[in-house]
Structure 1
Amino acid sequence: MSALEDKIMEYVCNMDEEEQGIVLEHVNLLLHEESDEDWLRRVEASRKALAAKYGEHHRKVKWLDRIRAEGA
């Protein structure tokens, strides 16, 4: 397993179902060679939806901020 796969598994194991769905969607898109720009747009859309639902300082939003920073 690659370092990226290890990191993804570490994140996924500590998530609720909503977070897992978001991660699996993005991983699936990455595996299908989606462009970086498209991937970042999807992360932004997910972040915006979660921020609207939970607020800017919720752990789910902060988690996506980390993923975005690591993937950018």
Structure 2
Amino acid sequence: VPLTDGQFDALVSFTFNLGAGAFQRSTLRRKVNRQDHAEVPAQLMRWVWAGGRKLNGLHKRRSAESILYRLQA
């Protein structure tokens, strides 16, 4: 699907951090492919857990990716 530079950059950052397999199986990818761009930032924010705990570092990273995704280029 066509993406803005910000959308592309946010998805590359996410995929680099979690791995292509996690992205491939995710609802996030389905939202992107359906061009449901308004839902993508919320989907990014679901990926802030590791070992059953919400991690502040992951929350900050996903927040930055969400902001980047919303940028218009």
TM-score w.r.t. the length of structure 1 is 0.49
TM-score w.r.t. the length of structure 2 is 0.49
Query: Comparing both chains, which one has the higher relative contact order based on Cα–Cα distances under 8 Å and sequence gaps of 6 or more?
Result: 2
Q: Pick the structure with more strand per residue.
A: 2
Q: Pick the structure with more helix per residue.
A: 1
